[in-house]
Each structure stands twice: as C-alpha cells, then as structure tokens.
Amino acid sequence: MNKTLIYDAVNRGYRWANWKNNLLFKHQPKNYLFILSQPYAGSTILHQILSNHPKISPLNTFGTREGFGLKVSRKQLEFNRLWDKAYEIPFEKLKPHWEKQWDLAAHYLLEKSPPQILRAHHIQSVFRTSYFIALLRDPYALALSYHQRNQVSIKEAASFTMQCFNYHLDNKIGIDHILYIKYEDLTDHWEITKKDLQLFLSQMDQLDLPKSLKAHNQTGNIDELKNMNEAKFSSIEQASWDELNHYFLLHEELLQTFNYSLRISPGA
C-alpha cells in the first residue's frame, strides 16, 4: 500500500481517538509548543522525547513527525515555497484543522516542521500562548548533513546553515517564551537539558526518555541518545572542510553568538 495512504489513515485514527476530548476542551485556553530547528538538527529525536510525556499531545507522530506532512496541511501549502520568507503560510486556516488532530485535553500541543523557524513571530500571533524550543547544532554537522542529503554544493549547504542561524537570531527578539538548546547538550548532557526543559515548561515532572528512538538520518534507528557529530565529521575530506571554514569565517560573529566556533580540521 502507498505510504502516504497509510500515513493519512494513521492520522485520521488519531483524530477520531481524540474527538471526545476535543469537543469538551474546544473552548478552553491552550498552550502551543513549537520546535524551531533547521533540518538535521535533531528535532525528530526531541519531538519523540517530548511526545513521550503524558501531558503533551503531538500533532503528528508519523515519519518525520511534521505537521506540514498532514493531509490537511498538504492541501493548504505550496511546498516549493516553504523556505521562501516572502511566502506567508496560512496558519489561520491550518489552526482549526490542527486542533482537530491534537488531543486538546493535553497541557501542551506540540508541533515541529523545520520551515517554521523563519515564521515564529507569525505563529505567535496566530497561536496565542505559544512556547518555542529553538534547537541548534554544530554548523559543520548541519552543513554536511544538508550537503549529503540534498546533493547540493558545500557552499550552498553552508549558506543555508548560516541563514537558519540568522533566523534563530531574529527569534531572540519579540518572542515571548523561547528556550534555546543545543543538539550536543541534548545528546551528551540529557539530565541538564531535561532540567532546562522542566524549568521552561510547567507540569513536566515525568519528562523521561522513551524506550526507543528513531532518528531521521542515514542510520535510521538508534537505541540511545547519541551525539553523531564525530561520525559525520569523519566522512568529510579536508578540501570540503576548508571550504566550510572559508564560508563560516565570514559569519564567525554569528557562530559565536550561539557559542560555536571555527574548526581547523575534522578532528579539531
């Protein structure tokens, strides 16, 4: 059977399962929780961890777990323009459909779709009482992943990565509730990151890791939280690394804003 048909059927099932709560809680105040992240930053893993909490309802738990992948979203969106800042996503139209998918009895309604990183202010204006978790990752790992997975040049991948870092910078101003965390802290220092999340979000006492995780990367499945940066670095030639450094040097101040720095070589 076509994967998209299965995908849509699974999400229809979730919608029907939530219908009673959604009828009861339709007019109650809601807390929305959005993950802001560029592709390959670890948002799928973070989404799984948050979805494991009983007081969080994810919008989508299938595939890459993105709300933009829902059938109702696909009907509304121009997918070739999702990364075009001039394209205004119709969140006002999507909101009532998404609220039929979430379990409105939950304390937080969770969503993550990478192109939302450049639309946080619009999201906040539509989804009142929104909380944002901005997830960053080592820019070298991000650029290499984007280069390998999308078959684009190193320069294009580095440019896209710095563009996303600038979106993170823009979101530091005018967003009421936002927490910045790093992939490296998520994977290497989970207990500390867990406390940061619990301080940021109320009623998160039971924020535990799920029994299994599924990563959106070339390996697919992981048994535990694991930092994959070094494995990514080991696959790159020095010439490509030098090209990344040449580009990142132009944006060194931006990197330092988020406590990242230039690397001389993959092992540095």
pLDDT band for position 38 (cuts 50, 70, 90): very high
DSSP codes, 181-240: EEHHHHHH-HHHHHHHHHHHSTT-TT----S-EE-SSSS-EESS----HHHHHTTS-HHH
What confidence tier does 17 reach under pLDDT thresholds 50, 70, 90? Answer: low
DSSP assignment letter at 127: S
Which among 137, 73, 62 has a CA at the least distance from the CA of 99? 73
pLDDT tens digits for range 74-127: 999 999 999 999 999 999 999 999 998 999 989 999 999 999 999 999 999 999
Q: Strand 213-214 vs strand 178-182: parallel, antiparallel, or unpaired?
A: unpaired
Quote the CA–CA distance of 190 and 198 in Å, as a whole number.
12
CA distance 145 to 244: 13
pTM over 0.85: yes
Q: Residue 48 — φ and ψ, nearest 5°?
A: -65, -40
Full set of structural domains in the chain with CATH: 3-140+176-224 (3.40.50.300)
Q: Tokens 């029994």 — which residue?
A: 211
- DSSP string for 1-28: --HHHHHHHHHHHHHHHTHHHHHHSTTS
The pLDDT value recorded for residue 219 is: 55
